[in-house]
Structure 1
């Protein structure tokens, strides 16, 4: 029985390792084949001319940028609150996943929890429950969870500003590698568009000059390059456009799904009513405008935008650590007012319901 259990565990580990390795090998192989095939066609049609060398150099540069950003996504990772020793909890267990924050002072700071009180750096929370701010914590990771932090069931770990779990990288996309992920998609989009343009040009030239009439054969490599590059150009372009759209709204994929499908329960506070009684949605309080939303992810300078270099840090202070986030204070205040109004309405409805029950029992 022990041998079978060990064999099953080894087989499971092998399958998991293979499945996590396969997408990496697939992406590397497809891009490498596209690079080799396109450069071969360039040299076949243009020889060792200056144009051929320039086109090949540009293609190689895009390939290297794509590969470097891909490995940065995997190596850097999304970032986790477990990376900060100050956020780790010690002792005690609970099924609750949040903690209401009372007014802190020297007398009650140690009474917050059987665990150590949360560090002041993460007390700037914009998560509200019952009209009061609260900090969430993960009973599985035993760590405080800042705003926009979520636990991944696949990775079995909490990640900062988690966007989604990507099977093509076998890891999660979050605060630290979000920039590299978007850059990888944009690099691949341009790379595929470049390969598609070159292959279509040579195919067009083959048929316009009627080279088939001179008993010349059509290169199947060109045909496959055109088909594969078009498929990747279209699919990657749509996905990259969607993620850039979310980035410019300062939304993660999880938050977008939450707003669209109300996955996380009641969202009454996210709506308000105008003077005519028409329902309209309250703006996202993380939305700081197009420019600030862009720089929050991509960095402050143009070389951060173009090159796969990090725009985050691990300091406990500031807004580049994934622990604290700037918000539109006006929108956040409106959101809090709506929450308080909703709580008052709910309390009045419950009071009215209790009165009706009391009258019926009399």
Structure 2
């Protein structure tokens, strides 16, 4: 029985190592899809149409402007997720203690460890793999091999964990990817229909193949990303993460649910001018501890909630 458990743990470790090795491949894949789409929409379809005159030129201009604007925001958001650390536990971090009750104001759960010298009713989150205390909403990532602040999940597409410091950037990446892939799908739809018609189709075989591939890839991405976007919108509305949504599935109430408006601000900040770009205002960073991933406002009546 022990041998079987050891083998399973070893296999999981190999799986995590393999995920770490996918880094450059996934980035190249994303850039490859962008390149194919750019060639199909800009180079072979709408840029040449600018010289047609009339309505064709106007439509081509609008498509090209939208395509490039969304592409800039998509790539900006994507590389912000890739290169932004999701948040690590500071060295020698210790939990905030309620001096009146003598209890650590932290969540409790199956992974928590009772530390020696603490009151019997005090539960402090502790990571046995990192051998350190864990802030609220922090989880250990087996792929990264460390604890991540407000960890949502490890995403192979961005070659990084999605956590407190880059969750907003990840959501914007999904948002702009959905808009961009939808635009590409709609702009190439007439070409796709013509592809199966009996009429004469302009362009070389390689151009037609690239257009067909771009349409299929962008349609598939638009549909799949739409599902992820809807899921994460619901998570933001409830101020929870993917991991927390699973952990609290039997709990009727969630201590960090402060209402949709405040829940949204816990991720995107209060400055509306920064809501749609992968950055935060200095004012929000200064006065909103939740954006740093260590402290989170909660409902006082649910501070002792466990799940």
TM-score (norm 2): 0.76
Alpha-carbon contact 2:105-2:303 (below 8 Å) kept: no
Q: Which residue of 2 aligns with 1:43?
A: 47
Q: 1:300 aligns with which of 250, 259, 270?
A: 270
Residue 55 of structure 1, CA deviation = 1.8
Q: 1:171 aligns with which of 145, 160, 169?
A: 160
Query: What aligned pairs does 1:152-167 form with structure 2 within 5 A after superposition?
Result: 152-167=141-156
Alpha-carbon contact 1:185-1:240 (below 8 Å) kept: yes
Q: 2:93 aligns with which of 78, 87, 97?
A: 87
Q: Which has the higher contact order (CA 8 A, sep 6+)?
A: 2
Residue 231 of structure 1, CA deviation = 0.5
- CA separation of 1:102/1:177 partners in 2, compared to 1, >3 Å: closer, same or farther? closer
Alpha-carbon contact 2:152-2:162 (below 8 Å) kept: yes
Mapped to 1, the partners of 2:96 and 2:298 lie a distance apart of 21
Matched residue count: 274
Mapped to 1, the partners of 2:61 and 2:218 lie a distance apart of 21
Alpha-carbon contact 1:163-1:253 (below 8 Å) kept: yes
Q: Which residue of 2 aligns with 1:118?
A: none
Q: 2:75 aligns with which of 67, 74, 79?
A: 67
Q: Which residue of 1 aligns with 2:301?
A: 330
- CA separation of 1:17/1:216 partners in 2, compared to 1, >3 Å: closer, same or farther? same
What do the CA deviations read for 1:11-56 (whole angstroms, capped 9, x no partner)? xxx9777522111111111112212211121124443735423321
In structure 2, list runs of 5 or more residues that go unmatched.
1-16, 113-118
Mapped to 2, the partners of 1:135 and 1:45 lie a distance apart of 64
Greater C-alpha radius of gyration = 1
Residue 58 of structure 1, CA deviation = 1.6
Is 1:254 equivalent to 2:260 in the alignment?
Answer: no
Query: What aligned pairs does 1:77-116 form with structure 2 within 5 A after superposition?
Result: 77-81=85-89, 84-87=90-93
Mapped to 2, the partners of 1:69 and 1:185 lie a distance apart of 9
After TM superposition, the runs of 4+ consecutive aligned structure 1 residues lying more than 4 A away are 14-18, 99-105, 128-131, 214-218, 311-317
- CA separation of 1:62/1:216 partners in 2, compared to 1, >3 Å: closer, same or farther? closer
Alpha-carbon contact 2:256-2:297 (below 8 Å) kept: yes
Query: What aligned pairs does 1:184-263 form with structure 2 within 5 A after superposition?
Result: 184-204=173-193, 206=194, 212-213=198-199, 216=202, 219-260=208-249
- Aligned alpha-carbon RMSD (Å): 3.5
